[in-house]
Structure 1
Amino acid sequence: MVKGQLIRNMVVGLVIVVAVAGAIWAGGSKEKASQPSSSKTAVDTSKKKEEQPVSQGKGSREERPQEGFRAPDFTLKTMDGKEVRLSDNDGKPALINFWASWCPPCKAEMPHIQEAYEQYKGKVNFHMVNLAVQDNPDEMKKYIQKEKFTFPILLDETGEVAQEYNVTGIPQTVIVNTEGEIVKVVIGAMTKDQLQELLKMVTSG
């Protein structure tokens, strides 16, 4: 009888162990399944994304491509050869958009940016930075002409500005306030409402 009781205790213990192991496995599978998928709204332009430093908060005078820091200054040429400098802002906020003509997500948001440009061009400086070092200039010009876009196109012919802004996926949009401080960085195509909200934020008051 003692032997039978011992066997029953061993069986019960084994059942408990199996049940606990099954619960742990099920929980791990559920957690893995609930992880969000990666965004499909941006095209990767590099093999490895650099580590981003921790922001020191608003009002910093240091130049970094992060929210809360001053936007790194740059000078680029337009398609007509005119030089444009970011810091020559006439007291206006700025929209900096990195894009290429071969990028589907870029093309998806372009009409929204054109509409916003027509609405805010007197209040916001638009800097549409084409990754010329990775783009075909003829195809880019044909695309702009075909779609009848009128916003200013700047040519990053060396890729230095994109590198300065840690651009690893396009489109990437940087919103800069009147003080030259980055208030928002958006990686991926923006919706019309999202873009309008950002521009209202930097033009209100």
Structure 2
Amino acid sequence: MAVPSFKNLRDAWHRARQRWWVRWGVDLAVAAVLFLAIMAWQTRHLPSAGTLAPDFQLRTLSGEQIRLSELRGKPVVLEFWAPWCTVCKAETSTLSAVRRFVGDRAHVLTVAVDYQNEADVRRFVQEQGVDYPVVLGENALTRSLHIDSFPTTFILSPDGHIEHATVGYTTRLGLLWRLWRAS
């Protein structure tokens, strides 16, 4: 059996590249690999899947106390955000839509962190029309979860274990898919 020459291989590659579906396929594969690599890099220090989320009790803007362990029994979208974060602003509509879609089948809870004062958080909530629970976070909690970028979102299983963690903007479909897998 003859070994194909470099020229033959090059010519075959050029013919294949002229097919639009091959070009698109290669481009999409490269983009997917880059996307997954960036996502893995951003979440490398976050707790891994299967880890029990640390319990915490934090105060809402209305003064109520919410304990994470009291939300067990349903999946939880737990997002950490900062009032100055433009990506967090963009994601408020996503969280609202997910909360409306899942109804009482899951919890959506957000934790405001890295803010100067409570007025900053209240202003963000009012300006963005936030309609989901917001609690005031503490630096110790973000350090324990190794959060250093916003938004950082955890999907928790009904028994309180971390199923998925992501950093940055997440689409409605992405959040719903991750919630469905955690159920």
Which of 173, 177, 180 is the matching residue for 2:157? 177
Is the CA contact (8 Å cut-off) linking 1:170 and 1:187 kept in structure 2?
A: yes
Q: CA shift at 1:121, angstroms?
A: 3.6
Q: CA shift at 1:183, angstroms?
A: 0.6
CA distance in 2, matches of 1:161, 1:120: 27
1:138-182 deviations in Å (ceiling 9; x for gaps) = 2321221122221000101x3111111110111000001012111
TM, length-normalised to structure 1: 0.64
The two structures, once aligned, show a CA RMSD in angstroms of 2.7
CA distance in 1, matches of 2:38, 2:115: 22
Matches within 5 A, 1:1-205: 36=34, 52=45, 65-131=47-113, 133-156=114-137, 158-203=138-183
| Letter matched to residue 140 of structure 1 | V
1:59-118 deviations in Å (ceiling 9; x for gaps) = xxxxx8321111111111100111111111251111110001110111111101111111
Is the CA contact (8 Å cut-off) linking 1:112 and 1:192 kept in structure 2?
A: yes
Corresponding residue SS for 1:88? helix
Structure 2: unaligned runs, 5 residues or longer: 1-32
Q: Which has the larger radius of gyration?
A: 1
CA distance in 1, matches of 2:72, 2:150: 28
Is the CA contact (8 Å cut-off) linking 1:117 and 1:126 kept in structure 2?
A: yes
Corresponding residue SS for 2:165? strand
Identity, % of aligned pairs? 26
CA distance in 2, matches of 1:77, 1:66: 26
| Letter matched to residue 171 of structure 1 | P
Comparing 168-177 and 86-95, the one that deviates more: 86-95
User: After the TM superposition, which segments of 4 or more aligned residues of structure 1 sit over 4 Å from their partners?
Assistant: 35-40
State the partner residue of 1:15: none
CA distance in 2, matches of 1:79, 1:139: 11
Q: CA shift at 1:202, angstroms?
A: 2.5
Are the structure 2 counterparts of residues 196 and 73 from structure 1 closer, same or farther at C-alpha, using a change threshold of 3 Å? same
Is the CA contact (8 Å cut-off) linking 2:72 and 2:160 kept in structure 1?
A: no
Q: Tell me which protein shows more helix as a share of its residues.
A: 2
Q: CA shift at 1:196, angstroms?
A: 1.7
